[in-house]
A = this chain, B = another copy of it.
Amino acid sequence: MSADIDAVAGQFVDYYYRSFDADRNSLAALYRDSSMLTFEGAQVLGTAAIVEKLVSLPFQKVQHKVTTKDAQPSSPSVASLLVSVTGLLVVDDSPNPLQFSQTFHLIPDGGSYYVFNDIFRLNYA
């Protein structure tokens, strides 16, 4: 709930979606073998499987537009943080963007952070 937390979360969110939209393979650097992704209910474990899942998503071109991002420290003892994002997903230049929500749990690791938890959902009206 500090400016630091918000700054870290903001930098992460910007970097994550810029990387996602430019080259999903580059997201490998943000995960570890213990990382978990739940994507539309499908559970995937570990960097290789997570990147394979993200790369296999059936669109050629994608753009995330972040509407809200909220961050909180997730532990009283470690500098880990929880980041919750809502936004719009523009897929293959569709005129009808999809609403999404995504939660990341970031763990500090050698001056940077990796994604331990990642939960993604499209929100249908």
Contacts and interface: CB of A to CB of B under 8 A. Distances in A.
Interface of A: 1, 34, 36, 38, 41, 43, 45, 67-68, 70, 72-74, 76, 82, 84, 86, 99, 101, 103, 105, 116-117, 119, 121, 123-125
Nearest to A39: B70
Main secondary structure of the interface of A (DSSP, over half): strand
A5 to B, nearest CB: 10
A121 B72 contact: no
A84 to B, nearest CB: 4
B84 A121 contact: yes
Contact of A74 (B70, B74, B99): B74
B99 A1 contact: no
Q: Which 5 A-B pairs have the closest CB atoms?
A: A101-B101, A84-B119, A38-B70, A103-B103, A36-B72
